[in-house]
Amino acid sequence: MSTPQKDPLSQAETTCGSLLYELQIIWDEVGEAEPDRDRMLFELEQECLEVYRRKVDQANRSRATLRQAIADCEAELAAICSAMGERPVHIRQSDQNAGSLKEEHARILPYLEEMKKQKFERRNQFMEVQEQIQNISIEIYGPKEYVPTIVDETDLSLRKLEELHRQLNALQSEKVNILLLSIIFPVLST
């Protein structure tokens, strides 16, 4: 048969009550004067209040840190969605079902990690297309001053990627036309 769990606050009150009772017995035995007892009880209350105050302050700082972490994750998630031209993901549920701050933070992290991964992959797609554009441009127009491929990470939208693909296709067509002309022109000249 299991014993029922007691409320921790109730247990603390019982423990404090028994310790106070024990203190009263000791003071009676020692013969502590009433004003001294009152002073010591007041000091004891002040020490307890200070401990509680420190714990409340610590809990408040922890809560503020967690709220800031959630806000930072949401802001980063919104920035990534914006850069990728996607609708922002709304993780927060209604206040009634939100759960604890730790649970909310734990719900956001997987979405954030997934979006970071998608952003990284999209950035790599941009770099690949831009490098192909640069290589074909060098083949067609000759080497110019080398400009490293820089990806504008504020616009990684599919629309922008499609625009780069159209530019690449146009350059590839131009390259094919130049190649065909270089083959056909000498044949026609003879």
Interval 57-78 mean pLDDT = 97
Q: Tell me if 166 sits within 8 A of 129, measured CB to CB.
A: no
Structure tokens belonging to residue 123: 């950035």
- Measured CA to CA, the distance from residue 155 to residue 82 in angstroms comes to 8
The residue range of the domain holding 104 is: 10-189
- Within a domain: 48: yes
pTM: 0.72
Write down the pLDDT at residue 96. 47
Residue 185, phi then psi, degrees to nearest 5: -60, -45
- Within a domain: 122: yes
Question: Vertex 127, ends 158 and 142: CA angle to 5°?
Answer: 120
What's the domain count of the chain? 1
Mean residue pLDDT of the chain comes to 89
Q: What is the pLDDT of residues 79-129, one digit of tens each?
A: 999 999 998 876 665 444 668 999 999 999 999 999 999 999 999 999 999
pLDDT confidence bin for 73, thresholds 50/70/90: very high
Q: What is the pLDDT of residues 12-46, one digit of tens each?
A: 667 888 999 999 999 999 999 999 999 999 999 99
- Within a domain: 1: no
- Within a domain: 2: no
- Within a domain: 5: no
- Measured CA to CA, the distance from residue 26 to residue 5 in angstroms comes to 31
Q: How many CA atoms lie within 13 A of 6 on its CB side?
A: 8
Q: What is the pLDDT of residues 132-182, one digit of tens each?
A: 999 998 888 888 765 667 888 999 999 999 999 999 999 999 999 999 888
pLDDT at 64 over 60: yes
The beta-strand segments (E) located in the chain are none
- Within a domain: 3: no
- Within a domain: 95: yes
pLDDT at 1 over 60: no
- Within a domain: 147: yes
